[in-house]
Amino acid sequence: MNRIMICAMMLSLIVSGCSSTDAQSGTKEQPMVQETNGKESDTAQLDEAVASTEPVKQSPQVNQSGSSDQPKVSTSNQKLLQKVNYYKKSDKKKPAPEQTALSAIKKAAQQHQVNVKPDVNDAKFREMVIVAATNIQSLTPAEAKAVTEYAKKVDAYENETKNKIIKNMEQRLKMGATLTEEEKSTLEALTPINPGQKLEMSSDMSGQGQGKQEKPNNKQPQQPQNEKPSQQPQQEKPGQQLQAQKTSNQYNPIAARDYAYKWWNKRNNKEYGYYSRVSGGCENCWPDCTNFVSQAIKAGGIQERRTGTYWYYSDQKPSYAWGVANSFYKHFKDRAQQVKDWKDLSVGDVVSIDFDHDGDIEHSAIITRIGRHDVYVTQHSSDKKDSPISPWLLAGYDVYAWKMSTANNK
């Protein structure tokens, strides 16, 4: 998922990575960078960034009058500096072990065949915290509460490290240093989002569904329309057999849903093998939420972007926005409309999740069913098919929803 902090930093750190401002302004593809030897998650890359970034030390130039000149900041650096933003400081310290939460996180790690110890400074453990936090629908109320609170503490703790990296890069830019393309992408992916329209919890959702799965009835969901949103939620109709019709932007939400259904509990590593390869060849040991969503909406007809703001897959290395949740959000913030009312959502739309209201998107999922009292997503990381989103809203997560029929597809 992320790439530069891919679903976990994607969730933990970022969850995706965009191209730099300069690179995006050109017509070339996003510059490819060297693979990360299995450390392709957000959290893992955060650790690498901490170890590799060093402050630029530059002696001030002394002019003839004896005063020192400030380093000149190039136009490209000025553009990057305009994008610099920090996570709010938190008084939360390193989270203490919490047995109920750790038990659920351990189960999540076992499901992914990942062997980790409960160490918040370990990137792989932080990834599993995020995986567990996306799976609260399957936990007991006590477990869900414990995991949610623990994930928020881990997220806040990690933000301190991200701020240090951002500060380091900001100082280098002010000193006139030239960042590599990878560093520019890292900076873009690490910084907080500009919050948009959040999905709101309504009384008919929280009062009726209570986050519980409605009985499946194997009926086709109503095909999303490109007209004015209905005031009533799209409900499944008995005997309705829908054909895969495209919206005005040529998006086929049923094709996107069908792809998600096909691959909901496995990985399409034959066609999209990059993340498996850089993770050591494992089948599913990395947080895969945003990579999975990108695959599904591409199957539905959303066009890859290899110019401007990048969103594409490549076996050499995908763009950050393809696999990192934070960067995915930033890409589609400029490409699709957000939805406020869950009743306006359709099959094939996408949601982005922020656990702790800090501007760090940690998860992505695709909507695959609309019920009478809830909306259901299919996702990776914690693999789920038709899982309700109301538990996330009830837990206090910030949920952003993208109307994919409005996505600019040119």
CB neighbours of residue 250 within 10 Å: 14
Tokens of 3: 């790439």
Q: Show the tokens assigned to 266.
A: 């496995």
Instruction: Give residue-wise pLDDT tens across range 278-329.
Output: 988 888 888 899 999 999 999 999 999 998 778 999 999 999 999 999 999 9
pLDDT tens per residue, range 109-139: 998 888 989 999 998 899 999 999 999 999 9
Interatomic CA distance for residues 399 and 202, integer angstroms: 13
In 3-state terms, the chain is what percent helix, strand and coil (to 5)?
A: 35, 10, 55
362-400: pLDDT as tens digits:
999 999 999 999 999 999 999 999 999 999 999 999 999
Helix (H, G, I), strand (E, B) or coil at 163: helix
What the block records as the tokens of 77 is 């650096």
Q: How far apart are CA 123 and CA 46, in angstroms?
A: 8
Is the pTM higher than 0.85? The answer reads: no
> What value does the mean pLDDT take over residues 25-50?
44
Number of Cβ atoms within 10 Å of the Cβ of 124: 21
pLDDT at 279: 86
Asked if 399 and 351 touch (Cβ cutoff 8 Å), the reply is yes
Q: Residue 59's pLDDT is what? A: 47
Give the pairing type, strands 337-339 and 10-11: unpaired
Mean pLDDT of the chain: 79
Contact call for residues 296 and 324 (beta carbons, < 8 A): no
Q: Is 80 exceeded by the pLDDT of residue 241?
A: no
Amino acid 57: pLDDT: 54
Element housing 296 (H / E): helix 289-299
User: 31-36: long-range contacts (C-beta < 8 A, 24 or more apart)?
Assistant: 31/181, 31/182, 32/314, 32/316, 32/317, 33/181, 33/182, 33/185, 33/317, 35/277, 35/278, 35/317, 36/278
Specify the higher pLDDT residue, 54 or 161: 161
CA distances to 17, 263, 273 from 269, rounded to whole Å, are: 20, 10, 4
Domains for the chain: give ranges and CATH numbers: 203-314+330-406 (3.90.1720.10)
Query: Of the given ranges (192-201, 202-211, 241-250), which has the lowest mean pLDDT?
Result: 202-211
3-state secondary structure at position 161? helix
